[in-house]
């Protein structure tokens, strides 16, 4: 199952799973507001599955966190993400372009976000253009993907956050294997 999730992570952008449980009624106060993404980086490493993959970029995406847990991700100004490395020792190189907007409810518990994927709406899409191992192009609706499982570049159920008046940092760590392999994704936002 873990191996399948990793392969899908590269092919269809599905990355991690996490528990969804009972949570507080409103987001932590410091995360409420409007934010702009300044940096995103995700590193996936696993020796047994021969994975070494780095994805980065996406600056300019806007995030709005409402007092009642409504999350809006606006990708209209998002820059391209690049993904390169190896999976099963096969070279991977792709560019990802997110567009449109995604609305979703979250239930933060302490400093952990717990998205509710079934509440996802919007016309957000991701276009993936791969150049290695072979050339391909696909555009997918994020709302359909997110209801099947977590999506790369969209904070998931095990994302933890710290924030202050001007900065918001999200980190999502996902175990890939039983030998220390993991995916670590970081989002850095600045308050608008």
Going by C-alpha positions, the residue among 123, 126, 120 that lies closest to residue 148 is 120
Least confident of 59-68, 76-85, 97-106, 147-156: 147-156
What confidence score (pLDDT) does residue 27 get?
A: 57
- Examine the pLDDT at 4 and tell me if it is beyond 60: no
Residue 164 · residue 30 · CB < 8 Å: yes
- Across the chain, what does the average pLDDT equal? 85
Q: pTM, whole model, 2 decimals?
A: 0.83
Domain that holds residue 58: 2-186
Closest CA to 37 of 61, 65, 10: 61
Residue 42 has pLDDT above 60, yes or no: yes
Q: Is 9 in a helix, a strand, or coil?
A: helix
* 129 lies in some domain: yes
Overall number of domains in the chain: 1
Q: What is the mean pLDDT of residues 105-128?
A: 89
Tell me the pLDDT tens digit for each residue of 70-110: 999 999 999 999 999 999 999 999 999 999 999 999 887 77
**Residue for token pair 């996490």:** 18
CA dist., res. 31 & res. 107, Å (int): 12
* More confident: 131 or 157: 131
Query: What residue has token string 């276009």?
Result: 127
In what helix (H) or strand (E) does residue 144 lie, and over which residues does it extend? helix 142-148
The pLDDT tens digits of the residues spanning 6-39 come to: 233 333 333 333 333 333 334 568 889 999 999 9
Q: Residue 26: inside a domain, yes or no?
A: yes
In a domain, 58, yes or no: yes
Largest CA distance in the chain: 47
Measured from the Cβ of residue 172, the count of other Cβ atoms closer than 10 Å reads: 24
Q: How confident is the model at residue 68 (pLDDT cuts 50, 70, 90)?
A: confident
131: left (phi over 0), alpha (psi -120 to 50) or beta: alpha
Q: How many residues comprise the chain?
A: 192
Q: Is residue 192 part of a domain?
A: no
Answer yes or no: is 191 within a domain: no
């Amino acid at each position: 199952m873990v191996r399948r999730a990793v392969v899908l992570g590269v092919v269809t952008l599905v990355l991690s799973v996490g528990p969804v449980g009972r949570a507080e009624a409103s987001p932590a106060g410091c995360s409420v507001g409007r934010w702009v993404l300044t940096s995103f980086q995700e590193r996936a490493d696993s020796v047994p599955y021969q994975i070494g993959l780095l994805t980065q970029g996406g600056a300019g995406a806007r995030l709005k966190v409402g007092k009642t847990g409504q999350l809006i991700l606006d990708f209209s100004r998002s820059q391209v993400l690049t993904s390169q490395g190896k999976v099963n020792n096969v070279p991977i190189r792709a560019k990802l372009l997110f567009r449109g907007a995604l609305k979703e409810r979250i239930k933060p518990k302490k400093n952990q976000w717990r998205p509710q994927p079934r509440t996802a709406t919007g016309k957000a899409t991701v276009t993936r253009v791969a150049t290695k191992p072979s050339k391909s192009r696909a555009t997918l609706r994020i709302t359909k993907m997110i209801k099947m499982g977590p999506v790369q570049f969209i904070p998931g159920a095990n994302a933890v956050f710290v924030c202050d008046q001007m900065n918001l940092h999200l980190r999502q760590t996902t175990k890939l294997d039983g030998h220390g392999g993991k995916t670590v994704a970081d989002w850095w936002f600045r308050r608008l």
